[in-house]
Amino acid sequence: MSRWVLSLMGIVLLGSLLIFVVSASAGGLDAASFYKNKAIDLTCVNAPGASADIFARMSQPFIQKYTGAGAVIVANRRGAGGLEGYNFVYRAEANGLHIGIGTRTAIPLNEIMDEPGVAYDATKYLYLLGVERSRNILSVKTAGRYNSLADLKAGKNLKLAATSPAGNLAMAGVTAIYALGLDAKVVSGFKGPTECGVALLQGEIDAWACPAESALSLFKGGQIKGLCILAPERDKAFPNIPTITELISLQGDRKEVIELWGPLVQGRIFFAPPGMPGDRVEFLRKAFSDVAKDPGFAAGVEKLFGYKGIDVDTGEQVLKEMKFLIDRKTRFKALFEDLFNRYRA
């Protein structure tokens, strides 16, 4: 065999070896080694000391353990109601070292309601894990003036509480008013869930549509009681509270607005920028799945939120629900803008 043929064969073999090495580096084979001695930037969209911030810092050692990263550093980017953080992660380098933790409802609602400053597409984030599925509960003061849906439907000039004019509490409030046909308005301006709860106990408002996690201590202490879940499914933390659709028959737009709350749940999600290499997406989803299975992580979630056992959704499931909501963006926005115009004080 001539020397030039042998040389050509050598070049071909060397090229094949280089292709194999590059492919291995880009594939799942070396994804784990990528994180060794590297720092993961974990963006929290809430202020230091907020429940999401506490959750982020509680998650730190577990993320580090299962990714093998050298460090996990929490950075609070909470400007513009958290949009700073959501936008930062969306625009960050998609190398697997930038991860966000946010509120499950905020990402789609910011986009659906065209909040100023939104610079992301909720369907293009790479979702890693969803933790908890807290539903909105229509609640009243225990042994108060209103003790049933029938009492509320017979009431006049009722008031429901909200913090912001277009946030989750306001949306849940107008949903309850519309679905039940109440003579009521949503009053916004309360500083937070604690102030809403106090207002309910003091009789400043008549009812409150809120996530289970926002009033867990009041529910468990027996100070307020839930009349119904404002969604097609029950809340795991309160399995004995029926859904609104179990108690009354809804048709048309009233049925539709409740169905929209199916995938619109309160909870925490971990997400990453679009465009990340596939092997790192797969690696991170596996790592976060292992985080969720760790007994220490589950105990931390239970201590923080008060739930026994945690609800976990895969990144694929979270993305499916985001697409469901964004695909209905035009209808969703028109429906709630109409409800806000009719039922906000």
Per residue in 279-306, pLDDT (tens digit) is 999 999 999 999 999 999 999 998 887 7
161 neighbors 196 (Cβ within 8 angstroms): yes
How does the average pLDDT of the chain come out, rounded? 89
Q: What is the pLDDT of residues 255-274, one digit of tens each?
A: 999 999 999 988 899 999 99
φ and ψ at residue 175, rounded to 5 degrees:
-60, -45
pLDDT digits (tens, 9 = 90+) for 193-202: 889 999 999 9
Is 12 a residue whose pLDDT tops 70?
no
- CATH 3.40.190.150 range(s) for the chain read 34-133+265-332
Residue 333: predicted pLDDT: 94
For residue 2, the model assigns a pLDDT of 55
DSSP 239: T
Residue 143 pLDDT grade (very low, low, confident, very high; cuts 50, 70, 90): confident
Per-residue pLDDT tens digits for 300-342: 998 887 777 788 999 999 999 999 999 999 999 999 999 999 9
Phi-psi label, residue 139: left if phi above 0, alpha if psi -120 to 50, beta otherwise: beta
Give the tokens for residue 148: 């049933």
Cα 282 to the chain's mean position, in Å? 21
pLDDT of residue 212: 82
136-263: CATH architecture: 3-Layer(aba) Sandwich (3.40)
- The residues that bridge with 36 in the sheet, in sequence order, are 69
Q: What is the pLDDT of residue 169?
A: 92
Condensed to tens digits (0 to 9), the pLDDT of residues 26-65 reads 444 488 899 999 999 999 998 898 888 999 999 999 999 9
Q: What is the pTM of this model?
A: 0.83
pLDDT at 240: 93
Q: Is the pLDDT of residue 225 over 60?
A: yes
Please determine, looking at this structure, whether the domain spanning 34-133+265-332 carries the CATH number 3.40.190.150: yes
Range(s) for CATH 3.40.190.10 in the chain? 136-263
Other beta carbons within 10 angstroms of residue 11's beta carbon come to 10
Which pLDDT does position 26 carry in this prediction? Answer: 42
